[in-house]
Amino acid sequence: MLKRWLEKRHGSGTPAATQGFTGPKVGRYSGGWATLRKRLVAEPGLRVIDVGYTSSVNINYLTGIGHSVYMADLVHDACTGNWQIGNDADGNPIWDVDSFLNASIDFGGKMFDIVLLWTALDYLPEPFVAPVVSRLRSAMTPGGSVLAFFHTRMVGDETVNCRYHVTPTDEVEVQLAEPFPIQRAFTNRSIERVFAGWSGHRQFLAKDSVSEVIMTR
């Protein structure tokens, strides 16, 4: 199991909690990253959004091969910000989605070619999911690519929130991140529904209850 494996590699049971992420980085083969990396190597000068707590590894690698990198830690911002503004008549929370989008996904009119979304959509409050995808789409150039990972079940050690670090190989490195609870698991149909209107997608199978998809703007 991923969580136990990471904690075992850390050598002391559960890592001490700190902001961002803790413990070792563990390599994981990623067909999606292997495919996207070929484009990144072949096309210098792209603009990339990396979703997650700032990773110097990701910044150094991507800038080293000629790209501009912008960070957007959507899960942290969504789960720690004061975005709930009340409850409806049934007691369900009401969220200030527009304020969240303007605070967390405002790039001043810049357009992007690549989004490393990782598993962010699995941890966002439900009302944020579709607007986040729509806002990212509006900030991307035609033919732009989103690399997204999706959990396929709601229980198990694999559902812990992790940070993903890129490598110059076909692996990404996984590291325990802030312990935000998973909000949903995705099926192929629900992925297609969230990304309705995009021009295409390619799916990659994985063995750890995580599905990988590259969506094309």
Provide the percentage of residues in the chain whose pLDDT is more than 70.
90
Those residues whose C-beta lies under 8 Å from the C-beta of residue 184, and which sit 6 or more positions away, are 121, 122, 126, 129, 154
Nearest to 113 by CA among 89, 139, 148: 139
pTM: 0.90
Q: Per-residue pLDDT tens for 60-98?
A: 999 999 999 999 999 999 999 999 999 888 888 999 999
Give the mean pLDDT of 173-188. 95
Q: Per-residue pLDDT tens for 97-142?
A: 999 999 999 999 999 999 999 999 999 999 999 999 999 999 999 9
Provide the percentage of residues in the chain whose pLDDT is more than 90.
80
Q: Is the pLDDT of residue 4 over 90?
A: no
Domain of 105 in residue numbering reads as 2-216
CATH at 99: 3.40.50.150
Nearest to 201 by CA among 129, 147, 141: 147
SS3 (DSSP) at 94: strand
Using the Cα atoms of residue 118, residue 120, residue 121 and residue 123 in order, give the sign of their dihedral. Answer: positive
Q: Is the pLDDT of residue 44 over 50?
A: yes
Q: Per-residue pLDDT tens for 200-215?
A: 999 998 777 899 999 9
SS3 (DSSP) at 130: helix
Q: Kindly report which listed range (21-30, 143-152, 172-181) carries the lowest average pLDDT score.
A: 21-30
Neighbours of 21 (CB within 10 A): 19
Across the chain, what does the average pLDDT equal? Answer: 90
φ, ψ for residue 129, nearest 5 deg: -65, -60
pLDDT of residue 21: 62
* Burial group, residue 157, by CB count within 10 angstroms (0-12, 13-18, 19+): middle
pLDDT of residue 205: 80
SS3 (DSSP) at 203: strand
Per the structure, how many domains does the chain have? 1
Q: Yes or no: say if 111 and 137 are a contact pair by the CB < 8 Å rule.
A: no
